[in-house]
Amino acid sequence: MLNKKSEYLWRLKSKITSMKIYIAVLLTGILYILNSCSSRFDPAITVSDLKDQLEFLAGDSLKGRYPGTPEDSILLHHIASEFKKCGLELFNKNGIQEFDFIASISAGKNNSLNTGKIRFTPGIDFTPLSFSSNDTLDATVIFAGYGFDISSEKVTRNDYASVDVNRKWVLILRGSPGQSQNFSSFEGDFNKAMVARDKGAAGVIFVSGLSFDKEDNLANMKDTRPEIGIPCIHVRRNVADLILASAKLTTEEMEKKLTEPGKIISTDLGINVIGITDVLRNRAKSGNVVAILKGNNPELSDEFIVIGAHHDHLGKGGTGSSSRNPDTTAIHYGADDNASGVAAVLELAQKFTTLKPERSIVFTTFGAEEKGVLGSRYFTEHSPVPLENIMIMLNMDMIGRLKPDSSLQVGGVGTSTSSPDIIKKLNENYNFKLQLTTAGFGPSDHASFYAKDKPVLFFTTGVHMEYHTPGDNISSLNMEGLSKITSFIGDVALYMADLDSTLKFQEAGPKTSETRGYRGKISLGIMPDMAAEGKNGLGVLAVTEGKPAANGGIKRGDVIIAIDGKPVGDIYEYMYRLEQLKIGDVAVVTVKRGEEKIDLIIQL
């Protein structure tokens, strides 16, 4: 036991220790508050603040901000923390609106292929393709040349004319004879597999001829498109030769013969192949970050201005990543695309905490934009604020490369009657060389809001040579220009937040791409649901007035399930079906409207 003196000294020492800890915690808290307040109440948009954010957002540690990775999770919590420092109300308490998606596709453990006598090794002799279904097939094999069935103005060819492939394997050469450009729109593996499926084939085996791939590499599985309903396998030439040997043929021999003009060789090989395909569709989680600043006017605070930018990028690139240097595996920093936009959102969040906008402001950053605007699509389908109360969405995507002539592109000005005049008026203080476009649709997250009949504005300094390459780094940015653009967008947002009356939406151009469809073909004039999964048809998010779909009676909310009697399970099958059509055709488009199936006549 302690004596009284020892106990006194022990208690005194404990008090001193506790006081030291208290003082340390107090000083830490004061420093935190000072730091928070300095950022929270500093209304200026500064180059130093933007640069501080960019050094983290486009630095090595986030490894290119690829969705679904640990670095993506770190990024989400960082952005939420920055919003919290500004005193904003975080959505769902932590600021993160989570969603999941197919992040990658890989071969499972149960793939097998054999002829009964010879068993082949997965990953060495063959691999399932990424769009293969998981299935078991024991069937005879039909060789069908290059697997074409084409009838177009430039080329006519049918490799299936003399064979019946119903419920059988089809063995197909990849590419096209002589690599002719006439076949460029038809020679992809996916398209050929769709043709085989339409012909009734139960499975497809692909092989690369010498002219297609001298090294005879197995196909990778980086394509994340959905399954097509039948097993699809890629085999090496030695495997194909063993299958072809039953008919005393070889891959090299077939490839040489098929280069002769008009030459078609299709035949029943008289051999059964047993195959099991096991494809794993690996899911991952990402999210949007959402925070709200309540408006100062009780009569207007239930209306919202959305200020947003996507925070994801391409990770380390590589094949299938949409990198413009697909052979290079290196961090794709995405400083302009789109760390610049995220930094601007964070700066504006800081700025607006010192202001008192009449309407409420939603600050948000979107995930998985590079995978098909998945984050903004999820936001609009599960809006954290009443969707009908969103007055306008301001989107920033690649605003870090202001050119010497100060040209700034602003899209979507035609989506409300007031936007053009507002933009021009506020630009008097900045003197940007404005390049205004009326169209509401565009290749970024604002398209998701325009599809929901919301006015949008899309700010960008445009594409450049470093776009989607590792060269898109901080050193390539115009920091003064980024600061100036951020201030301008802040002025636009505040002006609109304080308007006496709400903005009036008006349709400005199609709600899908203005191009003539996939690979130069036609378009129905719809905005398709590119993010939906499964094989239940293609959802129609929006329909453009005056285009074939609208003229033929297709409505928003319809689900396209067939074109000319051939099934449409998803966006990829829809695009493939469009490739088979041409301007002037009349197509029967079957839609599901509620529980009813309706055949609509569409004049193309």
CATH code for the domain of 127: 3.50.30.30
* Structural domain includes residue 558: yes
Q: Say how many domains are in the chain.
A: 4
What is the helix (H) or strand (E) element at residue 349, kind and residue range?
A: helix 340-352
Same domain, 224 and 180: yes
Give exposure, 48-82, as e/b (b: 16+ Cβ within 10 Å): ebbeebbeebbeeebbbbbbbbebbeebbebbbeb
Percent of the chain scoring above 90 in pLDDT: 72
Confidence band, pLDDT 50/70/90 cuts, at residue 226: confident
Q: Of the given ranges (321-325, 436-440, 593-597), which has the lowest mean pLDDT? A: 321-325
Q: What percent of the chain has pLDDT over 70?
A: 90
Q: C-alpha 314: how far from its chain's center? A: 11
Straight-line distance from the first to the last Cα atom of the chain, in angstroms, rounded to the nearest whole number: 97
Sign of the torsion angle spanned by Cα atoms 234, 533, 443, 438: positive
Residue where one domain finishes, among candidates 277, 309, 326? 277
pLDDT at 3 over 70: no
Q: What per-residue confidence (pLDDT) applies to 209?
A: 95
Mean pLDDT over 243-264 rounds to 92
pLDDT in tens, 435-451: 999 988 888 999 999 98
* Secondary structure letter of residue 258 according to DSSP: H
Q: Does residue 454 form part of some domain?
A: yes
Looking at the structure, tell me whether residues 248 and 273 fall in a common domain. Answer: yes
- pLDDT value of residue 233: 98
Are 393 and 505 in contact, with CB atoms under 8 Å apart? no
Res 518: pLDDT: 37
Amino acid at position 396, single letter = M
Same domain (yes/no): 158, 252? yes
Please tell me whether residue 515 adopts helix, strand or coil conformation: coil
User: Is 224 within the bounds of a domain?
Assistant: yes
Residue with the larger pLDDT of the pair 13 and 48: 48
Determine the average pLDDT of the residues in 363-374: 95
What mean pLDDT, rounded, does the chain reach? 89
Q: Tell me the residue range of the domain where 526 lies.
A: 518-603
Of residues 153 and 121, more confidence is placed in 121
What H or E segment, with its residue span, contains residue 104?
A: strand 96-107
Res 519: pLDDT: 38
Query: Given pLDDT bands bounded at 50, 70 and 90, which one contains residue 179?
Result: low
Contact criterion met (CB below 8 Å) for 323 and 332:
yes
| CB of 229 closer than 8 Å to CB of 569 | yes
Same domain, 181 and 127: yes
Q: Is 61 within a domain?
A: no
Query: Residues 519-523: what's their mean pLDDT?
Result: 58
Asked if residue 404 has pLDDT above 70, the reply is yes
Domain-embedded: residue 14: yes
381 located within any domain? yes
On whether both 261 and 130 belong to a single domain, the answer is: yes
Rounded average pLDDT over 478-502: 97
Top-confidence range, 372-386, 535-549, 581-595: 372-386
Q: Of 73-87, 178-192, 375-389, give the lowest mean pLDDT range.
A: 178-192
Q: Say yes or no: 17 and 124 in one domain.
A: no
Residues 529-570 have pLDDT tens digits of 766 777 889 999 888 888 899 888 999 899 999 999 999 998
Q: Is the pLDDT of residue 36 over 50?
A: no
Do 571 and 478 lie in a common domain?
Answer: no
Does 51 reside within a domain?
no
Say whether pLDDT at 41 is over 90: no
pLDDT exceeds cutoff 60 at 49: yes
Residue 517 has pLDDT above 80, yes or no: no
* Per-residue pLDDT at 333 exceeds 90: yes
In this prediction, residue 511 has a pLDDT band, given cuts at 50, 70 and 90, of low
User: Quick one: 92 and 119 in the same domain?
Assistant: no
Domain boundary among 236, 256, 277: 277
What pLDDT, on the 0 to 100 scale, is given for residue 229? 93
Residue-level pLDDT at 180: 58
Q: Are 275 and 136 in contact (CB under 8 A)?
A: yes
Answer for the pair 301, 108: CB distance below 8 angstroms, yes or no: no
Q: Is residue 508 part of a domain?
A: no
Residues 485 and 568 both lie in one domain: no
* CATH number of the domain where residue 486 is located: 3.40.630.10
Arithmetic mean of pLDDT, 228-252: 96
Q: Does pLDDT of 25 surpass 50?
A: no
Q: What is the pLDDT of residue 225?
A: 77
With beta carbons less than 8 A apart as the criterion, state whether 158 and 149 touch. Answer: yes
What are the percentages of helix, strand and coil residues in the chain, rounded to 5?
A: 30, 25, 45
Residue 40 has pLDDT above 50, yes or no: no
Do 356 and 447 share a domain, yes or no?
Answer: yes
At 527, which CATH number?
Answer: 2.30.42.10
Q: Are residues 254 and 295 in the same domain?
A: no
365: left (phi > 0), else alpha (psi -120 to 50), else beta? beta
The Cα 507–Cα 439 span in angstroms is: 8
Looking at the fold, whether 266 and 361 belong to one and the same domain comes out as no
Of the candidate ranges 26-30, 372-376, 451-455, the one whose mean pLDDT is the lowest: 26-30
Strand, helix or coil for residue 445:
coil
Q: Could you tell me the pLDDT band of residue 481, with boundaries at 50, 70 and 90?
A: very high
